[in-house]
A and B are shown apart, each in its own frame.
Chain A
């Protein structure tokens, strides 16, 4: 059997493990892809991580985590109200998942058509609302310095809602309905019923969804490409975006710096995913 496993071992070694090892070394090198790279050591990472653009990107990546509580609460609520086996509930669950199987770029394109400052559908509709001073309402969804990141996060929320609801749906399907039934017969309020009968069975899943959506938020890239390209004035430049920009959109490419930032994204996301795996084990 070991012989049959060999091709799999080889591709994983070449395209997963070797790049990880190379990433760690590259993060300690001075490399521009043109001249031979020079090994400097881990000390080169500190000034880079302390530099203003990187600090700003770290701040934006941390701000992306603000979407996490929404991606726990709303999917949970949606899974809870659509938990029954009725046809309508099944259809609702099926369609809610559609954004999650749609590629991130297509999702970004759909929202670009809605949010674009000039030709987006939302601003066109808003312009149709009469205002008392006659000026049309116009929101700079994608170019407003304070709004742009919120718009990007709205899109990740849209894509994640049905996705994480499926996790909660699976947990609720395994929960015993008798406890909720008993609470209801005792005349408990909906809130009490939820707290006593439902929450204990989805608590583990809530923690899992929290870590998974945090890991996804740290890696956020594709939607930014289509919606804002890191702008305005770097306000949607996250760590993942900055790493890509440093390697592939600047000349000469600063590959060592890009690797260092990519390593930071990898470590943060791996910590979250590792925690998610443990939580996933403990669940159900």
Chain B
């Protein structure tokens, strides 16, 4: 019974991928072909979008840690009113979805000249309060005795962060990096709004653009959908534990 149920669910979840891969990677006679994939990559300009998306996602993941880790350690080790206010602001920022902030974010980006630039694409994604809160909780679990011992040994506060806090929270840091990459790679609304010039496009934006030409070239669109799913799938299978554990412990929203 339960085996049947599992198989039905897996067929429902994986069948669509396989069906679409079949459309995109076979010709009308049913023989394997890369023609449609090649057309999606070149004519559909998915190849440059893949480059932009992967680079942007890697930079976003790195920046989320570079900005987030010191901030999270500072919040985790602060006391009294500073701690309450910092946590409150982080929570407020984490609870408001970025999709709701498109208009003001765009307004601010235009004002400081960041619209239509890679920096304007990256910075709002790098400012991720959810990731910071996740790291605050990871740092809160660093044993106080370890920190005290380092302090008695004469370590400076910065050294304690570098040599005690960061290594103890290493698993959480890699989880945050992987999730930062995945969420940036999948992001659609902000890239759609901030990049008006078609010369820089991320994969979701390029794929959404291809919807218009979909009925004319169904097979290339199918190939594009499969190719778009590959980088995130590869990263997921390489870092499975981080992704599933991280997500179910509240590192991302919804």
Contact = CB atoms under 8 A, between A and B. Distances in A.
Interface of A: 1-2, 4-5, 7-9, 11-12, 14-20, 22-23, 26, 74, 77-78, 81-82, 89, 92-106, 109-114, 116, 118-119, 121, 158, 161-163, 166-167, 169-170, 212-213, 215-216, 219, 221-222, 225-226, 240, 243-244, 247-248, 255, 258-259, 262-263, 265-266, 269-270, 273-274, 277, 280
Contact of A273 (B2, B95, B233): B95
B99 A216 contact: no
B134 to A, nearest CB: 11
Given A121-B19, A212-B253, A270-B96, 6 more contacts: A4-B70, A99-B13, A106-B204, A161-B13, A248-B193, A277-B95
B225 A113 contact: yes
Nearest to B101: A19
* Most chain B C-beta atoms within 10 Å of own C-beta, residue among A92, A101, A102: A101
A88 to B, nearest CB: 8
B124 interface: yes
A18 B124 CA distance: 11
Interface size class of B (residues with CB under 8 A): 35 or more
Given A12-B132, A105-B228, A221-B189, A112 B211 contact: yes
B141 interface: no
17 contacts: A8-B67, A12-B71, A14-B127, A20-B96, A93-B244, A95-B13, A106-B229, A109-B210, A109-B228, A113-B221, A121-B19, A170-B244, A170-B248, A226-B208, A262-B100, A265-B100, A266-B101
B interface SS class: helix
B31 interface: no
B118 interface: no
A99 to B, nearest CB: 6
A31 to B, nearest CB: 9
B158 interface: yes
Contacts of A23: 96, 100-101, 103-104
A253 B43 CA distance: 32
Given A103-B232, A162-B13, A166-B248, A5 B92 contact: no
* Most chain A C-beta atoms within 10 Å of own C-beta, residue among B189, B244, B247: B244
Interface string B82-96: 000000011111111
B149 interface: no
A91 to B, nearest CB: 9
Contacts of B222: 113
A269 B215 contact: no
A1 B157 contact: yes
B99 A94 contact: no
B32 interface: no
Nearest to B73: A1
A101 B243 contact: yes
A22 B107 contact: yes
Interface in B155-190: 157-158, 161, 182, 185-189
A19 B188 contact: no
A17 B186 contact: no
Contacts of B213: none
Contacts of A255: 103, 107
A94 B240 contact: yes
Contacts of A270: 95-97
B5 A81 contact: yes
B67 A114 contact: no
Given A7-B67, A94-B240, A225-B188, A106 B225 contact: yes
